[in-house]
Chains A and B, each alone.
Chain A
Amino acid sequence: AQSVTQLGSHVSVSEGALVLLRCNYSSSVPPYLFWYVQYPNQGLQLLLKYTTGATLVKGINGFEAEFKKSETSFHLTKPSAHMSDAAEYFCAVSYTGSQGNLIFGKGTKLSVKP
């Protein structure tokens, strides 16, 4: 069965430091890959997604992610963390023929220290 693993349920960084949130998927077929962000008591907002083409994807708020097929990974990065980046981040995958049903990781809560 397909699954998504986000390493680290909590990540803490200092303001201005690099943000790296890890996501690995298990599948024998190429997935479509998504990163969503959730602020407290709110719904999810799409940060970026990979469908086809360039494997380095740029999203909103300065985030980007790179699809590495050989590593089955889609890690999310941002060069310099801002206090407003504190939120929970979810990696998700879907597959052709799945009616778009997303399989989510358990999420990583990002804290940003001043």
Chain B
Amino acid sequence: SQTIHQWPATLVQPVGSPLSLECTVEGTSNPNLYWYRQAAGRGLQLLFYSVGIGQISSEVPQNLSASRPQDRQFILSSKKLLLSDSGFYLCAWTRLAGAQETQYFGPGTRLLVL
């Protein structure tokens, strides 16, 4: 069966520090991968998605970036964190690139920027 992992589970970082969040999927190959941010009272916002290694699409301009160095690995990064980057970051995957496909979510990383 397929599983999705995210780490770390929680993170407290000072403003201006770098960030690296990791997401990995097991039990499938060539998944579509997604990064979402959930901020209080604002629902979920799609940040990035990837249909393959090295292929990243950005939905929202910001100081975050994403990379997909391996088929089942998706990394969210920042060179300098802002206070507004605080939130709950969720990674998700789908088997196929289709609008009717179910997205399967990881457990999330809670980031607090101080």
Judging by beta carbons under 8 Å apart, are B102 and A44 in contact?
no
A114 CB within 8 Å of chain B: no
The count of chain B contact residues (Cβ–Cβ below 8 Å) is: 28
Chain A residues with CB under 8 Å of B90's CB are 43-44
**Quick check: which of A18-26, A69-77, A102-110 contacts chain B, the rest being far away?**
A102-110
Q: Contact size class for A? A: 20 to 34
When the two chains form their complex, are residues B106 and A43 in contact, meaning their CB atoms are under 8 A apart?
yes
Q: Are B99 and A94 in contact (CB under 8 A)?
A: yes
Alpha-carbon gap, A96 to B101, bound state (A): 11
A28 in contact (CB, < 8 A): no
A95's nearest neighbour on chain B, judged by CB, is: B99
- How many pairs, one residue from A and one from B, have CB atoms within 8 Å of each other in the complex? 70
Which partner residue on chain B sits nearest A50 by CB separation?
B100
Alpha-carbon separation in the docked complex, A51 to B105 (Å)? 19
Are A46 and B102 in contact (CB-based, < 8 A)? yes
Query: Judging by beta carbons under 8 Å apart, are A106 and B43 in contact?
Result: yes
* A99/B108 contact (C-beta < 8 A), A46-B102, A49-B102, A104-B44 known: no
Q: Which residues of A contact B42 (CB under 8 A)?
A: 106
* A1 vs B112: C-alpha distance when bound (angstroms): 31
Does A45 count as interface, using CB distance less than 8 angstroms?
Answer: yes
- Closest 5 pairs (CB-CB, A-B): A43-B105, A106-B43, A94-B99, A51-B100, A104-B44
List the interface of chain B (C-beta within 8 A of A): 32, 34, 41-46, 49, 51, 57, 59, 90, 92, 94, 97-108, 110
- Additional 8 contacts, C-beta under 8 A, given A49-B100, A101-B59: A44-B103, A46-B103, A100-B98, A100-B100, A103-B46, A104-B43, A104-B45, A105-B43
